[in-house]
Amino acid sequence: MSWAERPFSTGTRVPVRSLFDYLERNYTLDEFLGNFPSVPRETAVRVLEYSGTELLAGSRK
């Protein structure tokens, strides 16, 4: 299972991919968090930071 398919954290069934699906559809982070209150803001921000770091690292190869 890829990290995008895994849940945000223990205690939630919300897959990380759902955050990116929302953002692709031009929803804001606040709208996503409003629909998935079990996902802490701090966790969602960390996921975005991690994905950005990975994306940039991949482009340097």
Residue 3 pLDDT more than 80?
no
State yes or no: pLDDT of 26 exceeds 90.
Answer: yes
Domain ranges of the chain: 3-59
User: pTM value?
Assistant: 0.76
Distance between CA atoms of 10 and 14, rounded to whole angstroms? 10
Select the more confidently predicted residue: 3 or 37: 37
Out of 2.60.40, 2.40.160, 2.40.30, 1.10.10, the CATH code matching 3-59 is 1.10.10
Q: What is the pLDDT averaged over residues 16-41? A: 95
| Percent of the chain scoring above 90 in pLDDT | 52
- Residue pair 43/9 in contact (Cβ under 8 Å)? The answer is yes
Please provide the size of the chain in residues.
Answer: 61
What value does the mean pLDDT take over residues 16-35?
Answer: 96
